[in-house]
Amino acid sequence: AQKITQTQPGMFVQEKEAVTLDCTYDTSDPSYGLFWYKQPSSGEMIFLIYQGSYDQQNATEGRYSLNFQKARKSANLVISASQLGDSAMYFCAMREYGTASKLTFGTGTRLQVTL
């Protein structure tokens, strides 16, 4: 079974608008962490934001925020004020704490920011 599900293969957003990229996960481990990465066309994976399962508040990093709904097992990435440079693949990933720091990745969402 898929542990990380990203149901949006592609998304479009206009410059300066906000966009939400969906991520749902499946785990029976009470302790886990959720990560979002950005992959521009050049190929490097860039870490964006982290949310721990016991964190009381939603994580924020600049224009990135994570809408964490634990009961629904969702960890959606919100990008505010989109910029052309935000066009990239975005991957959601999960670490279950009994798994020696391994990450399980979703299949990604390709975001295209338009003028």
Partner 1 sequence: DVKVTQSSRYLVKRTGEKVFLECVQDMDHENMFWYRQDPGLGLRLIYFSYDVKMKEKGDIPEGYSVSREKKERFSLILESASTNQTSMYLCASSLGTSSNQPQHFGDGTRLSIL
Say whether residue 70 binds partner 1 (CB under 8 A): no
The whole-angstrom separation of Cα 9 and Cα 22 is 10
Nearest-approach distance from CB 38 to partner 1, in angstroms: 11
The whole-angstrom separation of Cα 73 and Cα 98 is 19
Say whether residue 101 binds partner 1 (CB under 8 A): yes
| Token duo for residue 57 | 């508040």
Residue given tokens 């920011």 in the structure block: 113
CA distances, 94 to each of 28, 47, 78, 88, 115 (Å): 12, 13, 17, 20, 33
Stretch that binds partner 1, among 16-24, 40-48, 62-70, 73-81 (CB under 8 A): 40-48
Among candidates 31, 23, 27, which has minimal Cα distance to 48? Answer: 23
Nearest-approach distance from CB 42 to partner 1, in angstroms: 7
Interface pick for partner 1 out of 7, 12, 45, 114 (rule CB under 8 A): 45
Interface pick for partner 1 out of 1, 56, 72, 100 (rule CB under 8 A): 100
Site for partner 1 in 48-67 (CB under 8 A): 50, 52
In the complex, the residues that contact partner 1 under the rule CB under 8 A are: 4, 9, 31, 33, 35, 37, 42-47, 50, 52, 91, 93, 95, 97, 100-108
